[in-house]
């Protein structure tokens, strides 16, 4: 048995043993559009994982990880999804901030922030998008001014996932008042439990609130809490986005597979599979998912991968309502909560917007991958 197969067997066995008892009820809970489900219990589960060494498996051992290879990380994410284990609450800290600090942070920053992430004692959110700078991230206007031993942050962030549960936020802010676009930005680590920070949940189409507006009105963070040099924030921010689209997406695809299999089963039960158009679209969805997996294993360009999976998932949500038929337009009964297919349809509309809209991804592919002329800008 190869080392990867042994690693896969180890995590599979651990999940079978530990995702039981009080934790068994967490199977399938949480995820996009459902982050409100059993959050406290999922947090306890993830701390249980940490106590047994199953968080941050891809981090180097010197920072508390397992030093897992890419192949082992793929095995971990796939087995976690195949076990129907609950959606992770610490994804942003473990998969985004942690690797950023490991590669670009100071030794003092690593010592302060990495252990609480690994132990799931401090949760993080991402302070990038703003009302006037969503997909055009270089247009951020949140500013930070150095005052003695602190940065003073003023501005607004939006679509901040899980900010209402987080203790910290990594914020892209303009620290050079005369700068424009990518220059003069800094990557700051800002606590959310201090004066000058207000968090307002945003109610989504699904009726839930996992996105937030975050207002900074003179919020302070220590001067040492800048990753990289002041003014070098764009480079650090782009590094973080690269980690966001890493091997963990293979676990996401296992979830997609589960949704597709359930939809095929529904189409067979309710007779929708008799429609040749439905059969054709289900077949195309299967082929698309196979292509997604092949691309992830080969290391597809991150922008191309984001563009493809987000449209695949949005299309699956539309197909789901076609399979369900006219009844999909109705809520079952008071209190009129959505079923899984309705939630999939509504929330997957956001897939093509968050983490970089499709328009921006196409521009990146055209300009940076294909080398085409840049889109004219004012």
What residues are labeled active site?
244
Residue pair 190/169 in contact (Cβ under 8 Å)? The answer is yes
What is the Cα Rg of the chain in Å?
A: 21
Structure tokens at 104: 């670009």
* 24 contact partners, CB below 8 Å, separation of at least 6: none
Q: What is the distance, to the nearest Å, from the Cα of residue 336 to the centroid of all Cα atoms in its chain?
A: 28
The span from the CA of 224 to the CA of 67, in Å, is 28
**CB of 247 within 8 A of CB of 74?**
yes
Encoded tokens for 223: 């001067």
DSSP labels for 1-68?
A: --HHHHHHHHHHHHHHHHS-GGGGGGTT---TT-TTTTHHHHHHHHHHHHHTT-SSTTS-GGGTS---
């Amino acid at each position: 048995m190869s080392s990867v197969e042994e690693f896969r067997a180890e995590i599979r066995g651990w999940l079978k043993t530990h995702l039981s008892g009080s934790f068994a009820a967490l199977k399938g809970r949480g995820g996009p559009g459902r982050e409100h489900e059993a959050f406290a219990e999922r947090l306890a589960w993830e701390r249980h994982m940490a106590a047994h060494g199953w968080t941050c498996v891809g981090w180097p051992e010197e920072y508390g990880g397992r030093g897992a290879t890419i192949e082992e990380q793929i095995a971990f994410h796939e087995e976690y999804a195949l076990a129907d284990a609950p959606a992770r609450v610490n994804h942003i800290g473990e998969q985004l901030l942690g690797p950023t600090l490991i590669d670009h942070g100071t030794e003092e920053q690593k010592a302060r922030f990495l252990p609480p992430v690994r132990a799931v004692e401090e949760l993080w959110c991402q302070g990038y998008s703003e009302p006037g700078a969503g997909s055009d991230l270089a247009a951020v206007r949140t500013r930070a001014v150095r005052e003695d031993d602190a940065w003073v942050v003023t501005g607004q962030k939006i679509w901040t996932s899980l900010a209402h549960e987080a203790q910290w936020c990594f914020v892209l802010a303009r620290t050079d008042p005369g700068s424009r676009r990518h220059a003069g930005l800094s990557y700051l680590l800002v606590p959310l439990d201090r004066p000058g920070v207000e968090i307002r949940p945003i109610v989504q189409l699904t009726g839930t609130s996992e996105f937030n507006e975050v207002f900074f009105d003179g919020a302070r963070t220590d001067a040492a809490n800048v990753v990289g040099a002041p003014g070098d924030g764009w480079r650090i921010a782009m590094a973080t986005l690269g980690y966001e689209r890493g091997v963990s997406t293979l676990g996401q695809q296992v979830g997609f597979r589960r949704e597709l299999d359930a939809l095929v089963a529904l189409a067979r039960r309710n007779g929708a599979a008799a429609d040749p158009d439905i059969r054709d679209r289900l077949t195309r969805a299967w082929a698309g998912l196979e292509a997604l997996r092949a691309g992830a294993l080969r290391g597809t360009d991150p922008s191309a991968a984001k563009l493809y999976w987000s449209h695949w998932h949005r299309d699956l949500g539309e197909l789901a309502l076609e399979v369900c038929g006219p009844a999909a337009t109705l809520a079952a009964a008071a209190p009129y909560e959505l079923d899984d297919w309705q939630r999939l349809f509504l929330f997957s509309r956001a897939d093509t917007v968050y983490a970089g809209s499709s328009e921006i991804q196409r521009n990146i592919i055209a300009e940076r991958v294909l080398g085409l002329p840049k889109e004219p800008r004012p």
